[in-house]
Structure 1
């Protein structure tokens, strides 16, 4: 039980830092556009390029989690995206092609962060009991809102006091500290080396029973989940990406930290209570999956 609590808290913090790194660019977009002369189209390319990579590694992340362990996938990807976030200011200054460098780094960030939640789902499905899975996943997932809040509050102050570069140093540095903690205290270095060895061998196809995809996609509940996730993700990520720019341009005297904190703060309120309801037996006798 203590180990489970330690991992839950650690993964909550990891999800928080995931969104700290992810929302650093939206917070800094206005300042970076002024420094590099980006117009709205170019800023939109940089912001949206993250999702070009993000959508490509969802299935890969789940497969890797099943093969080598979700905690190892999370640690390896976090070490990479934390490093990229920390060196983003340096990449922007490498040459005059800063737009190309920023776009490429955001695509790479998306590729690396795309494995996080599938690997997390794989990890929790193997390590957490069915009766506690919904609450644990919701607790860990709430870190996404806390991360957005943290970047909106602390990142906005760093942006005002020390410039946009400090926001990337802050979120990237915290992520690398988290990686060091997980590697040092929660994960065996030997296990990580073995996981890298499995990756080097090319990930042989699992011999587990095949998933009945056709039958699953005929279920209305599956499509309801897909549509609800699509709708929620579209609205949420539009807010994360463009809300700082909107308030900065529309209300230039307003504090960005206050204006960007409202949506994620409201999202956190129903998250844990709803997960508790999900964990209760259905009155109609349906089984939760």
Structure 2
């Protein structure tokens, strides 16, 4: 009798294990699904950045028409990042529990609509002081919607991909930022020169709404697995344990320092060329530097994979790749502070923007290393702090320019911040799971 019970117990256990294995396998994307979702999310990331960079592209033309000062422009440019910080943690936390595709869809509707109606928002008030505040408030709302995209996307990919594939898959998706900026630089510059600045907002906002329809269609297949997906993510995130770990804070600080460089250039680069080298065509400024980001992302992916295959640990690999990014950017920022011709300026900016591809294969994917089961929440927290330079650094840059009319000061300070982030990450960074 006992032997029979033991045998039945073993049989039940084996069946449960088999069902659990099949359930987990069903959660992961097949090769076909993986390819479909990669291009869908890449296109979405492209549009996120296209709509985000539309204001930096158009701010010289709009500020001239509306008679805005550099401080006014800085307020509007930086306001986006105030909203961007508000939704990072919450969207990652929610995505880890209900599925990232739902949060991405909700966010996409929001940032698409606020982009589409931006011309009406800009022209609502004739009084400059009131108008700037109102535009800044809407830009902050736009930033809040866009702040949901990356935490939700890393959560979705962590839930649907096997662990060895997550970092490289997500890093390639981040290259959509380069494609989006190129889209703004090419299509946006064409629309601006051929029509006017209002057309740029309308076209990009319309493309965003079209993407939401595609995303909604592809999300239906994932909704069938919502219950099983939720059950696989019930483990609560140990916040206190996470916040007590130096590797996490080194990741956060390194991300914030690199973001300071990226966001300052993202927001002010068109204005820099407009002020310093007005003879340069807009499409050259808004396209050429960003052409380097996509190939550099693939190059950094290859470097990371080869380092790991050569026997280097994930920790050492992440540090090497991140150091390449931050050191390259720091050196070229110092050179940029003293250049006197636009060819040299474009070359420096091309190297700086391209180096971001190495960051996308190091610190940007580090949350998946540090907290594999909570990557959405951890990335959201990291990106919240990382977005502070977005509103602080961009605003301070505008204020310094208003006072000094000197771009060199902005570039030197940005270089110093990068060096600080590099030192901290080299000392305390890690590629091992800490929670």
Preserved CA contact (<8 Å) 1:50 1:109 = yes
CA positional deviation for 1:190: 11
Matched, 1:244 2:270: yes
2:195 is matched with which residue? 162
Matching residue within 182, 205, 225 for 1:172: 205
The 2-side partners of 1:276 and 1:126 are apart by 24
Matched, 1:270 2:296: yes
Which of the two has higher C-alpha Rg?
2
Preserved CA contact (<8 Å) 1:134 1:276 = no
The 2-side partners of 1:227 and 1:207 are apart by 27
Matching residue within 89, 107, 112 for 2:119: 89
Per the normalisation by structure 1, the TM-score is 0.88
**Structural RMSD (CA):** 2.5
Matched, 1:187 2:215: no
SS of equivalent to 1:165: helix
State how 1:1-289 maps to structure 2 within 5 Å. Answer: 1-96=31-126, 97-183=130-216, 185-188=217-220, 191=223, 208-279=234-305, 280=308, 283-284=311-312, 289=369
CA positional deviation for 1:285: 5.3
The 2-side partners of 1:122 and 1:105 are apart by 27
SS of equivalent to 1:66: helix
The 2-side partners of 1:285 and 1:44 are apart by 42
The 2-side partners of 1:54 and 1:187 are apart by 24
Pair 146,284 (structure 1): closer, same or farther in 2 beyond 3 Å: closer
Preserved CA contact (<8 Å) 2:47 2:207 = yes
Instruction: Describe the superposition over 1:40-93 as per-residue Cα deviations: whole angstroms up to 9, x where unpaired.
Output: 111111000001110111101101212221011111110111011011001122
Pair 281,62 (structure 1): closer, same or farther in 2 beyond 3 Å: farther
CA positional deviation for 1:132: 1.2
CA positional deviation for 1:234: 0.7
SS of equivalent to 1:261: helix
CA positional deviation for 1:261: 2.4
In structure 2, the gaps of 5 or more residues are: 1-30, 316-367, 370-435
Pair 70,282 (structure 1): closer, same or farther in 2 beyond 3 Å: farther
Aligned length: 277
Pair 266,228 (structure 1): closer, same or farther in 2 beyond 3 Å: farther
Specify which structure has the higher proportion of helix.
Answer: 2
The 2-side partners of 1:77 and 1:22 are apart by 13
The 2-side partners of 1:218 and 1:121 are apart by 23
The 1-side partners of 2:156 and 2:233 are apart by 19
